[in-house]
Amino acid sequence: MKSDELDATLDSFGDALASATRVTPGNALRPEDIAKDGVKPSEQIAQYALRLGDDSLILSQRMSHWVSRAPELEEDVALGNITLDLLGHARSFLTYAGLAWDKTEDDLAYFREEEEFTSLHIVEQDNGHFGVTIIRMLLVATYQHLLYTALMESADETLSAIAAKSVKEVDYHRDHAIQWTIRLGLGTEESAEKMRHALEILWPYIDEMFTDEPLHDQLEGVAVRPSTLRAAWDQEIAGVLDEAGLEVPNVPQAMCKGRQGEHSEYMGYILAEMQVLARKHPGATW
Amino acid sequence: MSEKNIWPLWEVFVRSSRGLSHVHAGSLHAPDAEMAVRNARDLYTRRNEGVSLWVVKSEDIISSDPDSKDQFFESPKGKDYRHATYYKASEGVKHL
């Protein structure tokens, strides 16, 4: 649907107000609303929104691989819901960023090259076994929960509104990951070993999440300085791992420059799969 | 899959935003109560259906025996004096 066809006073079923007798999607900020408002961000704010959007987009693309492959039907739906939440966050951030360059969310998702993606290395890491996916969800959702909580105070109203919508969803992702981390950590010797292994695989990508950039200095009061989230994140993660009988692994940190467009070998394959249809059939709709 | 690896079955009750009673919505599998209520959130409220959830282990529900249908449910039939509409308001009775 073209954004100019949307009436902001209506929900996506065309109802003015949620009816008392039928199920409605309820009222919430949608990417279409951001596009319709058309508030153009500055170049720097757009670059910042692009980073947050790329993190969610690539993690969502990674997670979507679980659909139909989860250990149980119920978990399949849970992972699918989380994947779609992340895609929703990505759509909002990319829609907003794109307004600065007259680009749509689809232009940014499907027609940028690998070196133009600004996502963190942790989100592009292999899904691995279920424990790896759960640990990655724990590490990233805890980070995003702290980030969006702080971003709600941003001087930029659109970023603040996207954060307010997203924070409740990443809170649930965090809870889901915590529940499984505790169960698998305290489960069998095999499940605990797999969780220790997952922590060792993913821990090298932690420092990159909390690395400040000059962009954050330029956007004082608008962007959240990642380093300010580290202490709370360390404390939360340590608490969960302690409850799960696990420990922070003693592994060195990897050199990551995801924010500068330098990615690991995984990224090309992720983008190839994500972008092939849009590039082969430009303008395709369904 | 061996028997011990099958998660128990839970019944899900959802209270919609209408503010009525919890209504049976369906069932699901979950390893324990905490995960059951989360799975219920993911399976039965993803289209904004509810504001409150109950889950109960299916095995904890005691139901009437389908074979005892006659002795359980036939008796009230024909006893229309058990319905308020059976009675006529007497003349002169106000506020009825």
> How close does chain B come to A19, measured CA to CA in Å?
10
Three-class secondary structure of residue B54 per DSSP: strand
Q: Is residue B56 part of a domain?
A: yes
Q: Which of B38, B43, B49 faces A23 most closely, judged by CB atoms?
A: B49
Q: Is B65 on the interface with A (CB under 8 A)?
A: no
User: Are the beta carbons of B42 and A81 closer than 8 angstroms?
Assistant: yes
CATH number at residue B19: 3.10.20.520
Q: Is residue A9 part of a domain?
A: no
**Residue B91's pLDDT is what?**
83
CB atoms near residue A61 (< 10 Å): 22
**Residue A3's pLDDT is what?**
44
Instruction: Calculate what percentage of chain B has a pLDDT beyond 70.
Output: 91
At residue A27's C-alpha, the angle toward residues A26 and A28, to 5°, is: 120
**Residue A38's pLDDT is what?**
83
Confidence band for B96, pLDDT divided at 50, 70 and 90: low
> How close does chain A come to B84, measured CA to CA in Å?
28
Query: Chain A residue with minimal CA distance to B17?
Result: A20
Total domains, chain B = 1
At residue A132's C-alpha, the angle toward residues A126 and A133, to 5°, is: 75
Q: Is residue A18 part of a domain?
A: no
Q: Cβ of B30 and A25 within 8 Å?
A: no
- B33-44 helix and A73-99 helix, angle to the nearest 10 degrees: 50
Q: What is the ipTM of this complex?
A: 0.78
**Residue A22's pLDDT is what?**
41
Q: Is residue B20 part of a domain?
A: yes
Residue type at A231? Answer: A
Per-residue pLDDT tens over the stretch B41-85: 999 998 888 889 999 999 999 999 888 888 888 888 888 888 888
CB atoms near residue B53 (< 10 Å): 19
Give the domain range for residue A177: 26-280
Q: Is residue A235 part of a domain?
A: yes
Q: Is residue A3 part of a domain?
A: no
Which chain B residues contact residue A18 at CB under 8 A? 17
Query: Chain B residue with minimal CA distance to A84?
Result: B46
**Residue B32's pLDDT is what?**
95
CATH number at residue A63: 1.20.1260.10
Q: Is residue B37 part of a domain?
A: yes
Confidence band for B4, pLDDT divided at 50, 70 and 90: low
Total domains, chain A = 1
Q: Is residue A111 part of a domain?
A: yes
Four-CA torsion A247, A248, A252, A253, nearest 10 degrees: 150
User: Are the beta carbons of A118 and A50 closer than 8 angstroms?
Assistant: yes
Which chain B residues contact residue A72 at CB under 8 A? 7, 29
> How close does chain A come to B24, measured CA to CA in Å?
16
Give the domain range for residue B49: 1-62
Low-confidence ranges of chain A (pLDDT < 70): 1-26
Q: Is residue B49 part of a domain?
A: yes
**Residue A275's pLDDT is what?**
97
**Residue A120's pLDDT is what?**
98
pLDDT at B87 over 50: yes
Per-residue pLDDT tens over the stretch A183-208: 999 999 999 999 999 999 999 999 99
Per-residue pLDDT tens over the stretch A8-57: 445 545 554 443 334 456 678 889 989 988 889 999 999 999 999 999 99
Q: Is B30 on the interface with A (CB under 8 A)?
A: yes
Q: Is B5 on the interface with A (CB under 8 A)?
A: no
Name all contacts of B23-30 with Cβ < 8 Å and 24+ positions apart: B25/B49, B27/B58, B28/A74, B29/A72, B29/A73, B29/A74, B30/A74, B30/B55
Q: What is the mean pLDDT of residues B6-35?
A: 91
Which chain B residues contact residue A77 at CB under 8 A? 39, 42-43, 46
Q: Is residue A13 part of a domain?
A: no
Q: Is residue B68 part of a domain?
A: no
Q: Is residue A15 part of a domain?
A: no
